[in-house]
Amino acid sequence: MASKKDFLKETIKHIDIKKHNVVKLVDDMQNMAFSARDLNRAARIYDMMLNDKSCAIILTLAGSIFSAGLKKVVFDLVNNNMVDAIVSTGALMIDQDFFEALGFKHYIGTPRSDDNLLRELHIDRIYDTFIDEDELRVCDETCAKIFDGLEPKPYSSRELLQEFGKYLDKNGGPKVDDSVIYAAYKKNVPIFVPAFSDCSAGFGFIIHQTNHPDKHVSIDSAKDFLELTQIKLNAKETGIFMIGGGVPKNFTQDIVVAADILVEDASMHKYAVQITVADERDGALSGSTLKEASSWGKVSTTYEQMVYGEATVVLPLIAGYAYHKGSWKERKPHEFQKLFIEEKQTA
């Protein structure tokens, strides 16, 4: 009979944008049509954000892009001051980034699988990628252990993600050299996960709160919203670079309205780029156009661009373009994490 080893053979390898100078390729898309022209404009708008000294850049992440080989791209953005805050799904940060930081891997699989057999073998499938479910359980338990070690009270996800970075630091560093959580921890780039129970950390919470029914760590996602809004208020201008839609997109667009509630005439996001395969026609948020967001007062329409395409192909081109243009070399890190640490220390 087939064993787990038969399926978990070849590992996913993350693409390294630093190795591929795509500037000329993307430049030549400027005078084409359809997605190529859109991709070119999105890349140039991201480069504009990096050149605009007054602009803080918020990266939003959704979709299973780290298990698909795009983790190092985001790592490089963080590590080279190309992003100032991240808003993400929990699966990306915990089940995929933290998971690999613990030394586990993702494996090349196929969508034409016998899913019942995979289940019996404790193999989880994400389209054409396989995961060792037993390793994922170790990840869940590590989350629980981290929560067990914290003072029992409500936390923002940003605070908890920082604790994950601290955990890696104290335990000999991540087992990989491209951990996004760890790089963000070191570079003072805050990470927000507005639906933080919806991932491996949620299982960690199930264990933690069941073991500590009265006094335990809880996640205050309202605090997330307040903190991200404070970043918006602290920055003169903001640009958003969105990979996929979902809660991270909505949450990040909404902070303009939240800022507007706290102070009069908060500025809209000045720049906005989204990579998506979702469509606007079903009215769902993930595919809603940035022009639509403008009616809500969230995004300015001057520098916005949707790129319809799948991220594994599109993101290396846009991020690679911005990396090799080099505008980030002159850029000073915002280190927004300090905003909250100092605040706390003052208080």
Catalytic residues: 298
Q: Is 5 in the site for its own copies (CB under 8 A)?
A: no
The CA-CA-CA angle for residues 53, 57, 63, to 5°, reads 160
Give the DSSP H or E segment for 294: helix 290-295
Q: What is the smallest separation between the CB atom of 53 and its own copies, expressed in angstroms?
A: 27
Binds its own copies by CB under 8 A, chosen from 6, 128, 134, 169: 128
Q: Is 24 in the site for its own copies (CB under 8 A)?
A: yes
Please give the Cα distance from 322 to 344 (Å, whole number): 35
Q: Is 212 in the site for its own copies (CB under 8 A)?
A: no
Please list every residue from 217 through 256 that binds its own copies, using CB under 8 A: 217-226, 229, 244, 246-247, 250-251, 254
Q: Is 63 in the site for its own copies (CB under 8 A)?
A: yes
Q: What is the smallest separation between the CB atom of 248 and its own copies, expressed in angstroms?
A: 9
Max CA distance (Å), the chain: 67
**Strand-pair category, 85-88 with 191-192:** parallel
Please give the Cα distance from 93 to 193 (Å, whole number): 8
> What is the layout of strands, in order, in the sheet containing 129-132?
107-108, 129-132, 123-126
Q: Which is nearer to its own copies, 248 or 331 (CB)?
A: 248
Q: What is the smallest separation between the CB atom of 333 and its own copies, expressed in angstroms?
A: 27
Please give the Cα distance from 187 to 285 (Å, whole number): 31
Q: Which is nearer to its own copies, 169 or 295 (CB)?
A: 295
Please list every residue from 296 through 315 that binds its own copies, using CB under 8 A: 296-297, 301, 308-314
Binds its own copies by CB under 8 A, chosen from 42, 46, 59, 64: 64
Q: CB neighbours of 145 closer than 8 A, spacing ≥ 6?
A: 204
Q: Is 163 in the site for its own copies (CB under 8 A)?
A: no
Q: Is 324 in the site for its own copies (CB under 8 A)?
A: no
Question: How many C-beta atoms surround the C-beta of residue 50 within 10 A?
Answer: 26
